[in-house]
Structure 1
């Protein structure tokens, strides 16, 4: 097993999870984070662990051949198959983050035909969208009880129609992002959660205006 040093990538996941927990995006044991290592394996948060109190033993290492390694009697996240398919589809991805927020769940129900139009905000530049009045459609997937079915649909859709941004929504479940580093993945989460809050606030304001008429 990889030796524990200050450079251990799990520390970055612990810090990110603590931040997300404090913002209410990973309450209870919700959500999962992973980071890929040079040999193709990846660390992923264990199932049933509080994301605000993670330790180095709260992770499971998944190898390309399917082998599982852990420091304690823990199980890998129930959504490991989604992380696996993301790393297979996007070889440049070094981190994959999934959080549950109220706003992400609310806006997921605004999607039609599996796509959610994002507003043309300046914040889209942080997701790599450098266009004048961009049309950015975020892919949305059905929340099946069997997670492997979600992973299969992600693989099937993205093989022929890769997303414009490194992110997807699962309806009434949460947002998943991936990036070339743990820092990039964390930035993507924060940017998207800002956009989701904006969308919810905009609809509330629109409803208030209609109610005042």
Structure 2
């Protein structure tokens, strides 16, 4: 195993993490980012690392057979690694998966009706692949459990039968996860969904 593989791509994740930290979406050690490589393995942020101070040594590489590679034996993969694994299995075209914890994401999760969150028909949805006039779009919502593989299992079961309208999902009172064909596109998606969330919170306040 070679710890030097794709160090430049990890730097792209580091840059995104610092941006999200500055915006208050990855405070403390919250959130996780991953990048899938050509062989199907992926780099993911190590558990317990401050997202505003990441280095290339703060990632763990996870292989298809669940083998874990790290610079330090004390490093563990993010607690939400199973969610990233599920996303990469369900969506082979995905090369990046980003999960952040924002105040707005938690607030809008309370607006959800059962297991979906209806999104306003904003122009921004085009950036998520919704090219319709006055679209009726929603985001899948999942319950939060301390047992993260249970969340991953529910994501897998639902998306196997019903593909999501947009490449994003919301975990109730927890945060949003997006997946994309590259780290740059994943960053775009996070910015777009967080804009939609802020709009929804603001619209709720003026009612």
TM over 0.5: yes
In structure 2, the residue matched to 1:95 is: 96
In structure 2, the residue matched to 1:210 is: none
Please, which runs of 5 or more residues in structure 1 have no aligned partner? 207-213
Q: What TM-score do the two structures reach when normalised by structure 2?
A: 0.97
Matched, 1:105 2:106: yes
In structure 1, the residue matched to 2:29 is: 29
Instruction: Give the Cα–Cα distance (whole angstroms) in 2 for the partners of residues 24 and 13 of structure 1.
Output: 16
In structure 1, the residue matched to 2:135 is: 134
Q: CA RMSD for the aligned pairs?
A: 1.1
Matched, 1:66 2:66: yes
Please, which runs of 5 or more residues in structure 2 have no aligned partner? none
Instruction: Give the Cα–Cα distance (whole angstroms) in 1 for the partners of residues 7 and 158 of structure 2.
Output: 36
Offset of 1:53 from its aligned partner?
0.1
Instruction: Give the Cα–Cα distance (whole angstroms) in 2 for the partners of residues 38 and 9 of structure 1.
Output: 12
In structure 1, the residue matched to 2:157 is: 156
| 1:119-160 CA distance string (max 9 Å, x none) | 000000000000010010100000011000000000000000
In structure 2, the residue matched to 1:167 is: 168
Offset of 1:7 from its aligned partner?
5.9
Offset of 1:8 from its aligned partner?
2.3
Alignment length, in residue pairs?
A: 206
| Residue 64 to residue 142, structure 1, CA distance change in 2 (3 Å) | same
SS at 1:57's partner residue? helix
Matched, 1:114 2:144: no
Which contiguous aligned blocks of 4+ residues in structure 1 show a shift greater than 6 angstroms? none
Matched, 1:9 2:9: yes
